[in-house]
Amino acid sequence: MDAILEILGGLHPEIDFNTCNTLIDDRIIDSFDIVTIVSEISDEFDITIPVEEIVPKNFNSAKALYAMVERLIEE
Amino acid sequence: MQRNVLEYLEHTVHIVPKKVAYANEETGFTFEEVYHRSRAIGTYLSEQGHSKEPIVVFMGKHPRTIVTFYGVIYSGNYYVPIDEEMPRHRIELIFKSLNPKAVICDEETGKLLETFPFEGAVYSYEEMIKTPVKEEVITSIRDKQIDTDPIYIVFTSGSTGIPKGVVACHRSVIDYIESLSEVLQFNENTVFGNQTPLYVDACLKELYPTLKFGATAYLVPKNLFMFPLQLVEFLNEHKINTVCWVVSALTMISAFGALQKEIPKYLHTIAFGSEVFPIKQFNLWRNALPHARFVNLYGPTECTGMSCYFEVNREFALDEMIPIGRPFKNTEIILLDENKRITEPGQTGEICIRGTSLTLGYYKNFEKTNEVFVQNPLNDAYPELIYCTGDLGKYNERGELVFVSRKDNQIKHMGHRIELGEIEIVANMLEEMKSACCIFDNDKKKIVLYYVGDITTAQVATYLKEKLPRYMIPNVIEALGEMPLTSNGKINRVLLKEKYKSRMEK
């Protein structure tokens, strides 16, 4: 989880990613951020994020991202 | 001879009145609706006494915004699109530069406008379209209009920190639309998927050809450009066959592997530009759509939109760059060296543009206009302007024009033209800021801000978000103990770039 918070914090240092769960709905992250997040998470956890997973509900919060990563690691 | 862009609409409305012209995911307007509503707006604005002045269109991305643009042209004025996504500071600078007498809003932006110190007239779209059209008013305005009258002003990044308003007229837009349509082979069956915001000149590619041919343009919801599969589904749902997108929008689809899951099967014309298309990504597209036409476009806002094109007709190696090709009809490219002489074959020179597509210049800024719209140095016989782009280019061995780099600190990021200097100026406006320098990581396409000052990176980020458009916000912000300087006391950008690079490699 810390690794994900660090990646997100690097993009938007002013946002509290522990609590924010409207990253997409409130347009906090944009398409450029998504590209960065996907590539950094893939590197960090050595996983491939399939395109079906790149949907709003997986990117709305750090928690949702973390859940997706855990799921992908298990598979 | 066509003198006015609205003649496209007046021709088409008789042929396909009931066809949808502009649509989004929820609603669509037919040509008939576009025609009646824009003439209602034209009547209304004229009766309010506005003539030959900039009228700000402060509305969200929606078909009604496009109707409002045409309404402003019907009234004999010119539209200045601004958007709720623009930061406050930038909107204030634009208001200051224009001093507009009127702003047109929709429901959402009307409330937002109240928070600005604007004292002119505020009109609502919904109210204006109820106005009964007065034929004699519309006709009398048209009779007096000439084709060098302005249609719109769009703002671009300025190195002094103040955005510059580029003023374009009917003549240059008609010239551009005719040439572009011929190259991209638009017709009545074209279904556009618009990606670019309505406040930049890039959207002309969909707006006016739709009128000219009786085509249809869908405004693709911005959110979809984050989610590749949903985006492809949208394209297929609406049978979109033509896109003119920035490269990053296309690579977002290919890089995430969406093309292996679902192919945008109706697409047959893919125009792109404003950035380098990485060949690896390009090949993914080409393999997915082997029969589609791929066209690289190049051109500055100051020449109405695009000036050059290259239809990809051969394989490119991974380290090659797709050329920008050749100029549109009725446009000439001149490569000039530092002494304003034509460069030797194969040599790099500044790309300068000659033709009707030159816009009128920067609004109320003769100084900046005269710096880049200059007398053709090859012509000492009569007045003739060329536009100096500040881009460097050369011809390859096949005689195709290739983009080399910028002369200055301007960059292309997410399809937008950005002066790094503008970001630095805004950062330096912070009281605690001692020194700020922006560099651009061309490989990873990241804007990096280094600064010295008693302030946290989070505070800097928050501040910049208030002042700058989204695409200008640095992707990396880092504090330094001191700024590296060159021997003559300037910030050492080269050293900063090296520092950034070595940090990335770690």
pLDDT tens-digit map of B27-62: 999 999 999 999 999 999 999 999 999 999 999 999
Spatial separation of the C-alpha atoms in residues A61 and A8, rounded to whole Å: 10
Residues B47-104 have pLDDT tens digits of 999 999 999 999 999 999 999 999 999 999 999 999 888 888 889 999 999 999 999 9
- Give the pLDDT confidence score for residue B29 in this predicted structure: 98
Mean pLDDT, to the nearest integer, of B196-220?
96
Mean pLDDT (whole number) for B261-267: 96
Cβ separation A31–B226 shorter than 8 A: yes
Contact yes or no for A34 and B459 at CB 8 A = no
- Name residues whose C-beta falls within 8 Å of residue B490's C-beta, 6 or more positions apart in sequence: none
Domain assignment present for B495: yes
| Whether the Cβ atoms of residue B225 and residue B252 lie closer than 8 Å to each other | yes
Structure ipTM over 0.85, yes or no: yes
Q: Is residue B103 part of a domain?
A: no
Please tell me the distance from the alpha carbon of residue B261 to that of residue B136, in angstroms, as a whole number.
56
Mean pLDDT check: name the lowest of A30-44, B31-45, B211-225, B246-260. Answer: A30-44
Cβ contacts (< 8 Å) between B230 and chain A: which residues? 55
Kindly report the length of chain A.
75
Of B73-82, B147-156, B202-211, B412-421, the range with the lowest mean pLDDT is B412-421
pLDDT of residue B149: 97
Find which of A6, A51, A65 to mutate to test the B interface (most B CBs within 10 Å of its CB): A51
Does residue B229 sit within a domain?
no
Beta strands in B237-322 (DSSP E): 242-246, 269-273, 293-298, 308-311
Within an 8 Å CB–CB cutoff, is residue B223 touching chain A? yes
Average pLDDT over residues B441-457: 88
Asked whether the beta carbons of B100 and B55 are under 8 A apart, the reply is: yes
pLDDT surpassing 90 at residue B176: yes
Q: Which of B108, B222, B248, B256 to mutate to test the interface with A (most CBs of A within 10 A)?
A: B256
A31:B230 CB<8 A: no
- Mean pLDDT in residue range B264-287: 92
Confidence check: pLDDT of A25 > 90: no
Structure tokens at B42: 């034209």
Q: Does A17 touch chain B (CB under 8 A)?
A: no
| B458 in Cβ contact with B413 (< 8 Å) | no
Cα(B228)–Cα(B233) distance, integer angstroms: 9
Question: Residue A21 pLDDT more than 70?
Answer: yes
Is residue B159 scored above 80 in pLDDT?
no
CATH number, domain at B485? 3.30.300.30
Task: State the nearest Cα–Cα gap between B220 and chain A, in angstroms.
Answer: 14
Average pLDDT over residues B449-472: 90
A18, A24, A26, A28: CA torsion to nearest 10: 70
Per the CB < 8 Å rule, is A14 touching B228? no
The SS3 call for residue A38 is helix
Sheet containing B446-453: order of strands: B433-441, B446-453, B476-479
pLDDT band at B114 (very low <50, low <70, confident <90, very high): very high
Q: With a cut of 80, say whether residue A64 has pLDDT above it.
A: yes
pTM for the full model?
A: 0.90
Mean pLDDT of B175-179: 97
Report the gap between the CA of A9 and the closest CA in chain B (Å).
9
CB contact under 8 A, A32 and B223: no
CB contact under 8 A, A34 and B462: no
**Domain total in chain B:** 1
The pLDDT of residue B506 is above 70: no
Distance from CA of B258 to the nearest CA of A (A): 6
The answer to whether A31 contacts B476, with C-beta atoms less than 8 Å apart, is: no
The torsion angle over the Cα atoms of residues B326, B309, B413 and B226, rounded to 10 degrees, is -160
Nearest CB neighbour to A32, from listed B227, B414, B461: B414
Q: What is the pLDDT of residue B406?
A: 82
Short-list B156, B50, B142, CA closest to B103:
B50
Which residue of chain B comes nearest to A27, CA vs CA?
Answer: B223
Q: What number is the average pLDDT over the span B264-283?
A: 92
Residue of B nearest to A30 (CA): B226
The predicted pLDDT at position B487 comes to: 73
DSSP state, B325?
Answer: B
Does the CB of A67 have a partner CB in chain B at under 8 Å? no
* Section B406-421 average pLDDT: 84
Residue with tokens 């973390």, as numbered in its chain: A66
Longest dimension (CA), chain B: 71
Is 80 exceeded by the pLDDT of residue B505?
no
Cβ atoms of B427 and B464 closer than 8 Å: yes
| Backbone angles phi and psi of B132, in degrees to 5 | -65, 135
Burial B166-191 (b: 16+ CB within 10 A, else e): bbbbbbbbbbbbbbbbebbebeeebb
A-B Cβ pairs (cutoff 8 Å, strict)? 56
Find the mean pLDDT for residues B485-501.
82
- Check CB contact of A32 with chain B, cutoff 8 Å: yes
- Partner residue opposite B226 with nearest CB, options A30, A49, A50: A30
Does pLDDT of A57 surpass 70?
yes
Q: Kind of pairing, strands B349-355 and B361-362?
A: unpaired
Between chains, do B461 and A14 touch, taking CB under 8 Å as contact?
yes
> Can you give the pLDDT at residue B410?
85
pLDDT given at position B359: 98
Q: Check if A51 contacts B (Cβ < 8 Å).
A: yes
pLDDT given at position B134? 97
Residue A34, min C-alpha distance to chain B (Å): 6
User: Which pLDDT does position B482 carry in this prediction?
Assistant: 87
CATH tag for A2-74 (out of 1.10.1200.10, 3.40.190.10, 1.10.443.10, 1.10.238.10): 1.10.1200.10
Mean pLDDT, rounded, of chain B: 93
Domain of B501, in residue numbers: 414-505
Place of tokens 């634009």: B94
Mutate to test the interface with A, among B108, B226, B284 (most CBs of A within 10 A): B226
Rg (C-alpha) for chain B, rounded Å, is: 23
Q: Does B256 touch chain A (CB under 8 A)?
A: yes
**Percentage of chain B surpassing pLDDT 90?**
75
B209 domain-assigned: no
B303-327 pLDDT tens trace? 999 999 999 999 999 888 899 999 9
- Segment A23-30 shows an average pLDDT of 88
